[in-house]
Amino acid sequence: MTTAQSPSDTAQSSIWPWIAMSVAGLITLVASFVAPADAVQEELSRILYVHVPAAWLAYVSFGVTMLASALYLWKKNLLWDRIAASSAEVGVLFTGMTLVIGMIWGKSTWGVWWTWDARLTLTAIMFFVYLGYLALRRTTDDLEARARRSAILGVLAVIQLPLVHFSVVWWRGLHQTPSLLKPASVDMDTPMVLTLLIAVAMFSVMYVAMMVKLVELAKLEEEVILMDQSDLGPVAGAAVVAPSLGGDS
């Protein structure tokens, strides 16, 4: 049987994840402004140094969710459930960023905020599926049942990743084809490729830092749930006092 611990007893990381996220964000910002502007999109191209890394890290996040979910189903260790859930949260954040920034780019390029392009539609569906994953985790306080249900969805939902990524190759649409991960060769100038790789690396640092904090938070949440479940309250009938037989008033 698992023994509940006080949340204050859980070892927590130092402030390094916050520092890492701040530094990585600053480096990404500086690199995006130092890079040369695109010959066609001009200054608007700088938004892609956030849009593309956010999309890439969304893939990574949901891939980790799938892997950790499979490991939970195999090992039945709640650590893997924490990792899966934390990565899904980061993935939802990055997918939301991808959609919002993509809408800003689309308005400037296509003249509309939204169009039912295959890539856009499938990305939105993926966003809501993983929101559903997070909502599913709030339907019960039974840690094992929650982990099992979430793990099944976490494994099945990963089928969306290749559909989203290769949608611009498999179906005609307004969205441009992939700039790096695509069947053909890269068609970007070297300075832009280097800047994009730096941005992806910095977003990866932010992903790791956020994961450290979110896994800690998930552990604390589990401990609070276990403490609540172990606090059974007064036993029925405990407040009933036996009558005195000695005649004392």
* 171: in domain: yes
First-last CA distance in the chain: 47
Q: What are the pLDDT digits (tens) for 14-29?
A: 788 899 999 999 998 8
- Report how far residue 170's alpha carbon sits from residue 152's, in angstroms, rounded to the nearest whole number: 28
- Report how far residue 243's alpha carbon sits from residue 197's, in angstroms, rounded to the nearest whole number: 80
* 232: in domain: no
Question: Can you tell me whether residue 9 is helix, strand or coil?
Answer: helix
Residue keyed to tokens 């000695």: 246
pLDDT over 80 (residue 184):
no
The string of DSSP letters for 147-162 reads: HHHHHHHHHHGGGHHH
Q: What is the pLDDT of residue 183?
A: 47
What is the mean predicted confidence (pLDDT) over 44-71? Answer: 92
Q: What is the pLDDT of residue 86?
A: 96
- Report how far residue 138's alpha carbon sits from residue 50's, in angstroms, rounded to the nearest whole number: 31
What is the mean predicted confidence (pLDDT) over 170-188? Answer: 58
Q: How many CB atoms lie within 10 A of CB 240?
A: 7
* 148: in domain: yes
Q: What is the pLDDT of residue 246?
A: 58
Report angle CA 158, 156, 2 to the nearest 5 degrees. Answer: 105
* 218: in domain: yes
Dig out the tokens for 20 from the structure: 């890492």
Write the single-letter amino acid at 168.
Answer: V
Q: What are the pLDDT digits (tens) for 207-243?
A: 999 999 999 999 998 888 888 878 655 555 555 555 6
Q: Which domain holds residue 113?
A: 17-31+42-226
pLDDT over 90 (residue 244):
no
For residue 42, the cross-strand partners are 38
Average pLDDT score over the chain: 82
Which of 32-41, 111-120, 125-134, 174-183: highest mean pLDDT?
125-134
* 5: in domain: no
Q: How does residue 192 score in pLDDT terms, banded at 50, 70 and 90? A: confident
Between 237 and 122, residue with greater pLDDT: 122
User: Residues with Cβ < 8 Å from 90, sequence gap 6 or more?
Assistant: 57, 61, 207, 210, 211, 214
Our count of domains for the chain comes to 1
Question: Can you tell me whether residue 86 is helix, strand or coil?
Answer: helix
Q: What is the pLDDT of residue 2?
A: 44
Where are any strands of DSSP class E within 32-151? none
The closest of 11, 103, 93, 29 to 58, measured between CA atoms, is 93
pLDDT over 70 (residue 131):
yes
- Percent of the chain at pLDDT > 70 equals 77
Dig out the tokens for 78 from the structure: 């709640």
Between 244 and 229, residue with greater pLDDT: 229
* 166: in domain: yes
